[in-house]
Amino acid sequence: MQPDPSINSLGAKQPERWLCVSLHDVAPATWQHCQNVMDAVYEVAEIPMTLLVVPAYHGQCSAQPQFEDAMGKQLAAGHELALHGYFHLDQGAPSGITDWFRRRIYTAGEGEFCALSEQEAGERLTLGQRWFEANGWPLSGFVAPAWLLGSGAHRALKARNDLQYTSTLTQLIVLPEVHAIHAPCLTYSVRQAWRRPASVAWNTLLSRVTRQTPVLRIGLHPHDAESKSVRLSWQRLLARALTDRSAVTKAQFMRDWRSQRTDARLPQRRSPRAALQC
């Protein structure tokens, strides 16, 4: 019989810890690249993932039978589909140099929900929800592109009762209560060559700092399997995390959190304050 990894050398039960792996920007235009990333994940372990699906990626309608059929197969395989913006494009005008840098350079103009009004954000959430319903897909969570949520989007999310969670770069947010759970995310930036080694170094450091965190996330993007150094970096971090963490989708973690919220093993609720706002 193999030893139980949840039992330490003194015979005490170790506290349970979780790993949530997400794949961002899933759409017909990116699906082939996304499959390459999923294949690279499977080289480490076949784990459930949360696929962040964009209904009209950069204005291109995702309502394509072949793509929708592929998403249905991912659900059947045990993965989760979550709503990831609507257009994945920020078409608003930045209000200053800091805002311009964040919305045009740092996020490459994709922070769609950073500056929307409450009405605009609500309308796009509803359109995305209807797309999920038309395909018969369950919808538990919404993640804003680049994790940027402005005050309007914040209010739109609080006003709804059909979503269980959203997330920022450092937190999972339970909805509609807006309870924040500390859940840092390891994620890479590969758009420019200089960002790749910087991302590898940063995530190596961050993985050490967050080693004891109850909930850890890895956020992957469609081109994260193309650079060998980046791919090997996150594969190593994934393999290391899986030695003492349970891999679950975000929706599954939220279900467990709700059913066991009084269990001392689960991370305590924290006030998100302005966590939802960009």
Instruction: Domains for the chain: give ranges and CATH numbers.
Output: 18-259 (3.20.20.370)
Low pLDDT (below 50) residues in the chain: 1-13, 100-101, 104-105, 264, 271-278
Task: Quote the pLDDT of residue 185.
Answer: 97
Q: pLDDT per residue over 98-125, tens digit each?
A: 554 455 445 555 678 888 999 999 999 9
Task: Quote the pLDDT of residue 94.
Answer: 52
Nearest C-alpha neighbor of 250 from the set 49, 27, 5, 29: 49
User: Hey, which bits of 233-275 come out as E strands?
Assistant: 246-247
Task: Quote the pLDDT of residue 268.
Answer: 52
By the 10 Å C-beta count (0-12 exposed, 13-18 middle, 19+ buried), 13 is classed as exposed
How would you label 147-173 residue by residue, b for 16+ Cβ within 10 Å and e otherwise?
bbbbbbbbebbeeeeebbbbbbeebbb
Give the separation between CA 264 and CA 7, rounded to whole angstroms: 17
CB 146 within 8 A of CB 185: no
Amino acid letter, residue 100: W
CB 166 within 8 A of CB 144: yes
CB 277 within 8 A of CB 149: yes
Instruction: Report pTM.
Output: 0.86
By the 10 Å C-beta count (0-12 exposed, 13-18 middle, 19+ buried), 117 is classed as middle
Task: Scan for tokens 């005490």, then name that residue.
Answer: 12
Task: Quote the pLDDT of residue 216.
Answer: 98
